Amino acid sequence: MTKRYIPFLMIVATLISSCSTEDNDVLNTEVEGVNKSLIQSQKISRDANGKYTVDYTLAKNAQANLDKDSNADATTLNVFETKNDVVNRNANNSAELDVKNNKLELQVVENGEERRSITVEDENVILAKGEISTNFLQTYSVESFGDGQYVLDFTVRDGVQVEFKYNADENIYEVHLKEGVSKTTSFTKLYNKTEHLPLQIDFVNYLKNDAQVLSRVAEVRTQRVPRLIWETAY
């Protein structure tokens, strides 16, 4: 009598196991997809003329459009998923960004949800044709590959000394620039973003006060530009 129930119990156990496995697969897929970004990489750059650009690479089956509403404070990069294959989806996309009142704001919205925001505070460094910049910083870019790591690349003019510091009290990564001797004008720095905290990078410029040029003791003031703040919503 007992033997007759054994096959039946085995069938029931197999069905329960199969359903459980399918449920787990669905659950795992949903969990893995929650924080999956539609952007594989993203970079903010400033060239020697002060022009800002955003470059980004989209994930599979993703499309994007840039909303540059002149009446809005921030530019919005809308990224959304599509069921159709996108031609050249992995090609690099690039768009120029506007700086308004020495400030740039970029919001990245994926499928209707804001996933990250980038804010830049910078002075106007647009140069006339043929003019050579006397600023310490020439060009720079910050790039994210979505893994919590950010790559800072920048160049300075000749005769600029560079020092990297971390302000633990305010969670600010500082790049100190001042007159001095340096063996190179190109630098690369890797930063790891602390979870749930923004990544902030300040270029700290040490400038001599013009009124003190003829004085024996020249006063030095600092100016924090550009300043970049990269925030993520997950």
| Same structural domain, 131 and 78 | yes
| Same structural domain, 22 and 87 | no
| Same structural domain, 102 and 211 | yes
| Same structural domain, 56 and 171 | yes
| Same structural domain, 25 and 139 | no
| Same structural domain, 72 and 28 | no
Higher-confidence residue: 64 or 29?
Answer: 64
| Same structural domain, 100 and 196 | yes
For 173-221, write each residue's pLDDT tens digit: 999 999 999 999 999 999 999 888 999 999 999 998 655 555 555 578 8
pTM: 0.78
**Confidence class for position 20, pLDDT limits 50, 70, 90:** very low
For 149-178, write each residue's pLDDT tens digit: 999 999 999 999 999 999 999 999 999 999
| Same structural domain, 23 and 91 | no
| Same structural domain, 106 and 164 | yes
| Identity of the amino acid at 215 | S
Q: How many domains does the chain have?
A: 2
| Same structural domain, 26 and 124 | no
| Same structural domain, 84 and 180 | yes
* DSSP letters spanning the chain: -HHHHHHHHHHHHHHHHHHHHHHHHHHHHHHHHHS--SEEEEEEEE-TTS-EEEEEEE-TTEEEEEE--TTSSSEEEEEEE-SSPPTTTTSPEEEEE--BTTEEEEEEEETTEEEEEEEEE-------TT----SSEEEEEEEE-SSSEEEEEEEE-TTEEEEEEEETTTTEEEEEEEES--S-SEEEEEEEPPTTS-EEEEEEEEEE-GGGTTSSS--EEEEEEEEEEEEE--
| Same structural domain, 28 and 76 | no
Domain range holding 148? 39-232
